[in-house]
Structures are given as C-alpha cells and as structure tokens.
Amino acid sequence: AMLNVGNIRAASSRSRIFLAKMLLLGSLITLFVVFCVSTDGAVAVPESINAASTTVTAPSSSPFIEFSTDTKLWMVRIHGIMMVIPWFSLIPSAMLAARYLRIEWRAHKPGGLQIWFHIHRSLNWFSLPLLIVSTLLVIAAKGFKWTGPYPGKNPQKQFGPGSLHSLVGAIALVGVVLQFVFALNRPSPQSNNRPYFNLIHRSIGVISQLFAVAAIIFASTSFLKYWKYQVFAVVLTIIAPVLILTTVIVLELQSRRHVKSEIEEIEMSGQTSAIRVESPTNNLKITFFVCSLIFFVISIAISVQLI
C-alpha cells in the first residue's frame, strides 16, 4: 500500500499547531494566576467592617522555593537579557520582514511559503521561549507575586517605576501571546475576514512593541542596581528604539521608490506586467539585513550591561 504523503504532512502540521496552542494556553494560565496574586501580604476588606477582627494576613514567605538575594538578583538580570534581545532585535526584525520583504524572492517558496514569511515566523518563534522563560524567572524572583498596580496597594508604590514596569511589560507580553493565538487561527488569504485579521495582527504587534520599549526604558532609568554602567545602559535603551524608528522610515522610503520605479518602467515599455527593478529592491534587502544586524548588536551591548 502506498502512503499518502499529503495526509502525513497534514497530520504533522496539525500536531505542531496543537502543541503550539498548548504552549500558548499554558502561558495564558500562568499570566492569569500571577495577576490574581497581590503583594502586600494582606487581603483588603471594607472599612465599615471591624478591621481588628477581619484582617487576613497572608504568609510572609512564599509557598514556593525561596531564593537567596544574590540568586534573585541574577534571575532579574537574566530576565532583562531575555527581554531585551527579542524586543530590541528579533521582534522588530520580524515585523520589518513582514512589512518590507514581501516583494522580495517572489519566485522562491521553500515549503510552499514565501521567504519573508519564513523570516517573520522564525524570528517570532525564537522570541517566544525567551519571553516565557524570562517572565517565569522574574515571577520566581519576586516570590510568585504580582508587583504591578492593584486595588488596595500602597499609594506610594501604586504607580512607582517598578509597578509601571510590571504593568506595561505584562501588557506587552499579553499582546505577544494574543499574536500567536491569532496567527494559529489565521484565516485563508481568500477569506473575507483576512483584512480584519491583518489589521488586528498589525495593531497588536505595534502596540506590544511600544509597551515593551516603555518597560525596558523604565528598567534602565529606574532599576539602577542591576546595570553595570548605568549611563551607558540608559543611552543604549534610548538609541535602540530611535534606530528602529529610523529604519522604518528608511525602508518605507525605499519601498515606495521601488514601486514608483516599477510603474515608470511599465509605462516606458508599454507592457502590462510589472518589470523587476533590481537596484531599489537590492537596497531594500541590504538595509533590512544591515539594520537587523545592528539591532542584534545593540541588544547584546545592552545585555552585557546586565552581566
């Protein structure tokens, strides 16, 4: 009997999607549990009730593993490294590939998918385990407690740098998880829902990136004890997003120049099909790969400040 190769590939693809969904579901459950835990060691009760008889005090120590101060310090530092590399290197490059490399390598489709999509998906999947492990590390370092704002928290700490860092970082992480959930349920290109998916996918990606940048800048400007050279760390964490924005502007101009040149060639030749113009598109690829390499170098330079 002959094996149906198509069925085998389909089954393998379904298995990978199922495993990915389970990984994302586990991430969501972890986030939900952490967000439901407060940090003051007491459960808030209405003021109208006798406080002396109703104050419920939580155990002062974590019910989980208790780490030494030095261990916690390094856990937070590793958390920072594993956040900086995805948010300042891998994820921006993935977003730029999806935006500006669609016109490249149209004739090449490894595995039936365009090269830009392979780059986009691979960089995002490399980022996901780093983000998850990073989150688990900082949760463990903080005693498995939510350190962001919540009702009843000390007003002085409610919107302090640490609290805001936790909040905006959590929003960025939730956005990443939602991105992967949506991507695994992506409608076909012919579906009427595809434009809505594209809009939501892009919007969540940009919003998550902005919140992540804010969280990292909060960390570099407020959590000074974790950085080797504080001023250098602050400068780099500001340069990185500025460079990403500059790259977007340059690639946008180059891509528009490419389209304009292509149209002019069509008009001059009188042909009805587009003629490839190699000069602008080569510049586009060079800009993308050079800037992606610079992103990675800067993210490593920032990470070194945490060692």
**Residue 208 amino acid letter:** S
Quick one: which of 134, 58, 56, 48 has its CA closest to 90? 134
Which tokens is 279 given? 């000069």
pLDDT digits (tens, 9 = 90+) for 72-122: 889 999 999 999 999 999 999 999 999 988 877 776 777 777 888 899 999
- For residues 75 and 88, give the distance between their C-alpha atoms in angstroms, rounded to a whole number: 20
pLDDT of residue 261: 53
pLDDT of residue 184: 84
Q: What share of the chain is helix, strand, coil (3-state, %, to 5)?
A: 75, 0, 25
All residues at 6 or more sequence positions from 158 whose CB lies less than 8 Å from its CB, including other chains: 149
DSSP-derived secondary structure letter, 249: H
Those residues of the chain that have pLDDT short of 70 are 1-65, 107, 258-282
pLDDT of residue 281: 56
Alpha-carbon distances of 131 from 8, 79, 85, 212, 250, rounded to whole Å? 32, 8, 9, 11, 29
Other beta carbons less than 10 A from residue 117's beta carbon = 17
Which burial class, exposed, middle or buried, applies to 174 when counting CB atoms under 10 A from its CB (0-12, 13-18, 19+)?
middle
pLDDT of residue 21: 57
pLDDT digits (tens, 9 = 90+) for 290-307: 999 999 999 999 999 998
Alpha-carbon distances of 176 from 6, 111, 132, 296, rounded to whole Å? 32, 25, 10, 20
pLDDT of residue 115: 86
- For residues 9 and 112, give the distance between their C-alpha atoms in angstroms, rounded to a whole number: 12
